Chain A
Amino acid sequence: MGAESNRKTETRRFNEARLASLYDEYYGKIAHYAFVRIGNRTEAEDIAGEVFLKALESLESYKERGIPMQAWLFRIAHNLVVDHLRKMAKHKIVPIDTVQVEADADPVTLTDKKIELERMTGAMEQLTPEQREVLRLRFFGGLTSKEAGSILNKSDGAVREMQRAAVEKLRRLLVTDY
């Protein structure tokens, strides 16, 4: 009994160390992923920090043979983003822009950026939710298609196919004058 308990503790410590080792590389990627979805820098940074704390709390539920730990972090991030967006909708907090543009000394550049952002956001909204999520995990999260597939419960092949269709559609929408 004592040996079993020690083993569980050692496994737990081991997973804690693994989680800590992922922080430097994945905090930024998770914050980026959250930023693209919620459009607020500060909230995105908070969510990224919260992901690691939630992961620490839920380490008992993490199973090695399930999904890679870095992909599991993005699953937590997705859930926190959904909660955040639900709270925003509940309190009828509507952001002025979908994604904030950083303040810039040059008003022309700022305007160009906002126009480009609106155009890009409009194009992304015409993708299916799954296509949008694949692109977010791949482009901003930096996950491999295998890791993205483990989050979306899709095979590598299915993710690659969705990815190609999404990028093709995005490309067509971005070159169309509208």
Chain B
Amino acid sequence: MTDNFDKTLDECIDRINRGESLESCLAHYPEYVEQLEPLLQAMLQTKETYSFAPSASAKRVARQRFDAALESLEQRRREKQPLFTRVFARPLAWTTAAVVLLILVAGFFGLRPWLYPVGPLPNPEGNFVFLISDDVNAIGDFESLNVSISKIGLLPSGDTDRWVEFDPEVNEVDLTLVPGDKTQEIWRGDVPEGQYTKVFIHVTGVHGILKETGETVEVKLPSQKLQISKTFQVTTDMVTSFTYDLTVVAAGSPQSGIKYILKPQVGQSSADHKPNKGKAKDKQP
């Protein structure tokens, strides 16, 4: 019994840390309201008393120092390599030469359409997986909440407009089925390795049905293109799983009318990495 309550209190603390309101949290655990409320009030009081946010300038300066330290490390690594390796081991040099050769050959044999694919293609043994999850807020109000996604985009580091774009294999996700740690895979394939700094999904529609009334309700979007800034790495020897977290929040009151808004959750979106068993080195055909 105590263990159940400990877990419930723990879950509520997680919810409040994620930005959920006290009322919303208590509504999920009606059997524990009397015990939970005073403890969560104490938590909120503690957070309020010790409220703090670092200054933007301090954060920026610290980030500059960190980036400088990273750059310095990379520079030292480059200097340790022999000249031959520095020049000829760069993937970019070989890739450029290979691309030029391929274009010449393609031009001769008229294979141009095959060289310029629309974007990355699905591949069950790919190095990148895109998942959707729901960060729990007002999802409990819904019987179903279907989000239609027509496109996914990743922005490589250093680029401002050359996105890596692809169409999801699964283009509709019911967020009521993926709360918290649950996820739905909507694409798997190969994307170019490197560092990425932004991700977008293009949402073409949101269809929500309320649990209590069975009514279809409008769920607003800040924009059809939901973009977040998140830095992550993709390599060929690891499978990068990127979870794009969405959340639906309720605004307003029963008197004035509750409105629902779907928005991305940057803080909960993240990349995970596992070894890519399908791409072991020195694999012989």
Residues of A within 8 A of B (CB): 3, 9-10, 13-14, 16-18, 20-21, 23-25, 27-28, 31-32, 35-36, 41-42, 44-46, 48-49, 52-53, 56, 99, 116-117, 120, 124, 135, 138-140, 142, 144-145, 157, 160-161, 163-164, 167-168, 170-171, 174
Contacts and interface: CB of A to CB of B under 8 A. Distances in A.
Given A139-B47, A171-B38, A23 B6 contact: no
Given A10-B237, A138-B13, A99 B50 contact: yes
B47 A140 contact: yes
10 contacts: A10-B237, A18-B232, A28-B59, A32-B54, A42-B58, A44-B52, A45-B59, A53-B66, A116-B49, A117-B50
Given A14-B233, A160-B7, 12 more contacts: A24-B229, A28-B54, A31-B54, A32-B52, A32-B54, A49-B65, A120-B46, A140-B52, A144-B14, A157-B6, A163-B9, A163-B13
- From DSSP, what is the main secondary structure of chain B's interface residues? helix
B9 A160 contact: yes
B52 A31 contact: yes
B66 A163 contact: no
Interface in B138-195: 195
B20 to A, nearest CB: 13
Q: Which 8 A-B pairs have the closest CB atoms?
A: A49-B62, A17-B233, A45-B58, A171-B42, A160-B6, A21-B231, A31-B54, A120-B49
Nearest to B5: A164
B6 A21 contact: no
A25 B10 contact: no
Given A17-B233, A56-B69, A160 B47 contact: no
Contacts of A23: 63, 66
Contacts of B273: 14, 18
Interface of B: 2-3, 5-7, 9-10, 13-14, 17, 38-39, 41-43, 45-47, 49-50, 52-55, 58-59, 61-63, 65-67, 69-70, 73, 77, 195, 229-233, 235, 237-238, 266-267, 270-271, 273, 281
A120 B59 CA distance: 28
A163 B5 CA distance: 11
A170 B46 contact: yes
A10 B7 CA distance: 40
A167 B5 CA distance: 13
Contact of B49 (A9, A48, A117): A117
